Structure 1
Amino acid sequence: MTNAGNSVVIIGGGQSGLAGAFAARDAGMRPVLLEAGDRTIGSWPAYYDSLTLFSPARYSGFPGAPFPGDPDRYPTRDEVVAYLERLSLDLDAEIHTRTRVTAVAHDGIGFIVRTDAGEEFRSAGVICASGSFTNPHIPAIPGTFDGQLLHVADYRGPKQYAGRRVVVVGAGNSAIQVAYELAEVANVTMAVRRPIQFVPQIRGGRDMHYWLHTLRLDLLPPAVLSRLIHGTPVFDTGTYSNALKSRQLDQRPMFTRFDVDHLVCTDGNREHVDTVILATGYRPDLPYLDGLGALDSAGLPLHSRGISLTHPGLAYLGVEFQRSFSSNTLRGVARDAKYVVKALSKRLRG
């Protein structure tokens, strides 16, 4: 068992965990990073092959660690993996890979973090940064479906769907990106709760992220965002919206139920479908907190801006809309990490 001292255990070694470790180091704390995988790159290698960031490289890196190369390009999945690996090499922290956390307890003095190998780490503070990729959200859809049903977390590329009738459920960035590339080889429809909300990627000759950064819109708190934005905005250069206009792919209201190998539409019609891909997002994956009393009945963290409402010394990173629109992104998580570590440091000193 490690000594608590001024250490903070960070659970998860992806982009959020690395951001937390850098912030803790800069605040004079001793970060201990626990990562279930064999590299500190999080879930990025498991995303679909064609994934690219929707923000240019110049707005996607950590402070003081810009992406190499053309700052106006949109980095690919593999470029992000390489970037995160380089970041970890510059991190002066105690890093444990292949270390899966199974439980977090509090003994009245500090936290005890237990792993699947029987190790125990004691610390004054814990930051949960394990992400959500391993907990894809599967909506409840009535009926049974005998076709192929998968979440976008298990999608890799379009080749195996050639010639099939495919429905992609969702109206966010991943949904439209996957549907668009599938439309090159398959008959594709997007099933949506509300029409896709396109936002021009380029405005006034500049990428939208320039304006988000310059006007500080990326920092707006969730309460303000909810009044300004309804649904998930999809950044588009015109490629995706034109594909819908030209009927290369289409969007229809969400179907009402499954019926063996058919979908039942809102008008009562039935349509044969081979594959349904759910691009329906993810939920925080925090099973190791089940016995701590830090989660609500749905398994979501009880927190305010990333700071636990139940346990001083416990914090979170990478939660969607934790503090802003960009909270669970490469471009925004470092800001959250600095805020969370500052708040933790104050509480632990007090």
Structure 2
Amino acid sequence: MTSIEPLARDAEAGGGDRVETVVVGGGQAGLASAYWLAQAGRECVVLEKRDRIGDQWRERYDSLRLFTQARFNGLPGMPYPGRRTAYPTAAELADYLETYSSLIGVPVRTGVRVTSVDTDSGGGFVLETSAGRLTASNVVLAMGSDAVPKIPSVAAELDPGIRQLHSIGYRRPGQLLPGPVLVVGASQSGADIALEVARAGHETWLSGRHHGEIPVDERIGGPIMWFLANRVFTLKTPIGRTMRSKIRGGGSPLIRTRRADLDAAGVRRTQARTVGSRDDLPLLDDGTVLDVANVVWCTGYRPDYSFVRPLRAGDDGYPAETEGAANGVPGLFFVGLIFQRGFYSHLVGGVGRDARFIADRIAARAAKGRLPRASSLGS
């Protein structure tokens, strides 16, 4: 598309389209936020930079399955279809999100990239996008926490003949060269990919600290995991606060793929970290040098909110916020951050809980007359 369809254009606003709330990001977090805003009778629009809703999931590795059962993956107002105990694939989830976006009764604009968010003199926000300018009373940032892949500097030291992929670019074992594979990062994606490439016949090393595991039995593990994610692993409990720190630091526990599965497939696990190179080959911190043909970096991501000018962020990229409200910036909110209020916050079926919390706060701002007047918006 080339322009945003007019939304409550106000001639006095000084240019651009005006909308009460702009939701940035059309994944599960953004769509759930839009649903609850619509249910509260609040005007909003969703802007998604990709050309098709769900593409952030279609871009993941082919074998990816969610670690929560279908019965726990429904967004508000629409249960997840199919067998309740199935573990959906990424592609299936993508199609579900696309269908959901067409049914929630909210304008969803695809192919629109937000390039900057600034406050204006009236207490609202000005957003510059690839399709024009918008002014808003509230902005909900729902892009998640995986904007920028993290790749260690050692990657540049390795032999250029070694094929290197970050997990964001890995799709299937056929992308790899014949020969041994080093998977760096022993959290969920690293374990999944190591298991897959080992089963495909590659000698496989998995390097990285083990952060525990939460076994999920196909029959009873789903409900147990869901209870823990929603009631135990939250910011209200000491164990939840500790888990948040570990997960945001890149150390999440294994959920469904377990160490026993890796061992059975012949994956050579080591808790030694990949820290450097020797003779252009990966060097572990225990002195081991691995002569491999491939390296898959499952080393995580970091958020990127550099385009949001009034926002303060830490060295890890995470914004300064309290329960999803930006510190010191009224009207700026987040949904979908890793462990925003609990482990459930970044689960497909759990994000709706935070989305409703934020939608209620926006509705309360409007009820108390705290939204900037239309005539004060714009620049």
The alignment-based identity, stated in percent, is: 32
Decide whether the 8 Å contact of 1:256 with 1:265 is kept in 2: yes
1:37 is displaced (CA, Å) by 1.2
My pick for the range that moved more, 9-18 or 257-266, is 257-266
Aligned position for 2:278 = 259
Equivalent residue runs for 1:1-350 within 5 Å? 1-4=16-19, 7-109=20-122, 110-117=124-131, 119-141=132-154, 144-146=157-159, 147-161=162-176, 163-184=178-199, 185-192=201-208, 194-202=209-217, 205-207=219-221, 209-214=222-227, 216-217=230-231, 220-221=234-235, 224=238, 225-227=240-242, 231-236=251-256, 240-246=258-264, 248-252=266-270, 253-289=272-308, 291-296=309-314, 298-348=316-366, 349=368, 350=370
Q: Distance in 1 between matches of 2:322 and 2:311?
A: 16
Amino acid at match of 2:294: T
1:55-105 residue CA offsets vs partner (Å, 9 max, x unmatched): 000011113311111000000111101100110111211222111100111
Q: Distance in 1 between matches of 2:84 and 2:121?
A: 48
Q: Distance in 2 between matches of 1:156 and 1:245?
A: 23
RMSD between aligned alpha carbons? 2.3
Amino acid at match of 1:273: V
The secondary structure found in structure 2 opposite 1:17 is helix
How many aligned positions are there?
A: 341
Decide whether the 8 Å contact of 1:124 with 1:313 is kept in 2: yes
Decide whether the 8 Å contact of 1:218 with 1:326 is kept in 2: no
Decide whether the 8 Å contact of 2:282 with 2:290 is kept in 1: yes
Q: Distance in 1 between matches of 2:145 and 2:360?
A: 24
My pick for the range that moved more, 44-53 or 125-134, is 125-134
Q: Distance in 2 between matches of 1:191 and 1:123?
A: 46
Amino acid at match of 1:28: G
Q: Distance in 2 between matches of 1:103 and 1:320?
A: 23
The secondary structure found in structure 1 opposite 2:183 is strand
With over 3 angstroms needed to count, the CA separation of the structure-2 counterparts of 1:320 and 1:95, relative to structure 1, is same
Amino acid at match of 2:220: R
With over 3 angstroms needed to count, the CA separation of the structure-2 counterparts of 1:222 and 1:247, relative to structure 1, is farther
Decide whether the 8 Å contact of 1:45 with 1:77 is kept in 2: yes
Q: Distance in 1 between matches of 2:315 and 2:211?
A: 31
With over 3 angstroms needed to count, the CA separation of the structure-2 counterparts of 1:18 and 1:255, relative to structure 1, is same
With over 3 angstroms needed to count, the CA separation of the structure-2 counterparts of 1:335 and 1:217, relative to structure 1, is same
Q: Distance in 2 between matches of 1:219 and 1:338?
A: 19
With over 3 angstroms needed to count, the CA separation of the structure-2 counterparts of 1:97 and 1:244, relative to structure 1, is closer
- 5+ unaligned residues in a row in structure 1: which ranges? none
- 5+ unaligned residues in a row in structure 2: which ranges? 1-15, 371-379
1:162 is displaced (CA, Å) by 5.7
The secondary structure found in structure 2 opposite 1:327 is helix
With over 3 angstroms needed to count, the CA separation of the structure-2 counterparts of 1:228 and 1:49, relative to structure 1, is closer
With over 3 angstroms needed to count, the CA separation of the structure-2 counterparts of 1:40 and 1:243, relative to structure 1, is closer
1:267-311 residue CA offsets vs partner (Å, 9 max, x unmatched): 32422122211112222232321x324434554311111110021
Decide whether the 8 Å contact of 1:142 with 1:256 is kept in 2: no
